[in-house]
Structure 1
Amino acid sequence: MSSGKIASQTAHAAVSLYIKAKSNPIFFIEIDTWVNTGQAKIVLKGLDENSLIDFETKASDANLISQTVRDAGRTQVEPGALTCLGIFGKISEIDKITSHLNLL
Structure 2
Amino acid sequence: MALKDLLSSHPNAMSVALFGAGFAVATLVLRYRSRSPRGLVGQSSSNTTNSVNGKGDHSLETKVAQEEYKMVLVVRTDLKMGKGKMAAQCAHAAVGAVEKLAYVNMAALRHWQNLGQPKVVLKVDGLEALFDLDKVARSKSITTCLISDAGRTQIAAGSKTVLALGPGPASVIDQITGHLKLL
The TM-score normalised by the length of structure 1 is 0.94
Deviation at 1:30, TM superposition (A): 2.2
Deviation at 1:29, TM superposition (A): 2.8
Q: Which runs of 5+ in 2 are unaligned?
A: 1-80
- 1:29, 1:36 → 2: CA distance? 10
Following superposition of structure 1 onto structure 2, how do residues 1-104 of structure 1 map, counting pairs within 5 Å? 1-25=81-105, 28-88=106-166, 89-104=168-183
Q: Which runs of 4+ in 1 moved over 4 A?
A: none
- 1:39, 1:3 → 2: CA distance? 22
Q: Is the 8 A contact 1:30 1:90 kept in 2?
A: no
Deviation at 1:81, TM superposition (A): 0.5
Q: Give, as a single letter, the amino acid of the residue that structure 1 aligns with 2:180.
A: L
Deviation at 1:102, TM superposition (A): 0.5
- 1:45, 1:58 → 2: CA distance? 16
Deviation at 1:47, TM superposition (A): 2.2
Q: Give, as a single letter, the amino acid of the residue that structure 2 aligns with 1:32.
A: R
Deviation at 1:22, TM superposition (A): 0.7
What percent identity do the matched residue pairs reach?
Answer: 40
Q: Give, as a single letter, the amino acid of the residue that structure 1 aligns with 2:125.
A: L
Root-mean-square deviation (CA, aligned residues, Å) is 0.9
- 1:31, 1:50 → 2: CA distance? 29
Q: Is the 8 A contact 1:67 1:85 kept in 2?
A: yes
Q: Is the 8 A contact 1:13 1:85 kept in 2?
A: yes
How many corresponding residue pairs? 102
Taking CA–CA contacts closer than 8 Å with sequence separation of 6 or more, which of the two structures ends up with the larger relative contact order? 1
- 2:164, 2:102 → 1: CA distance? 15
The TM-score normalised by the length of structure 2 is 0.54
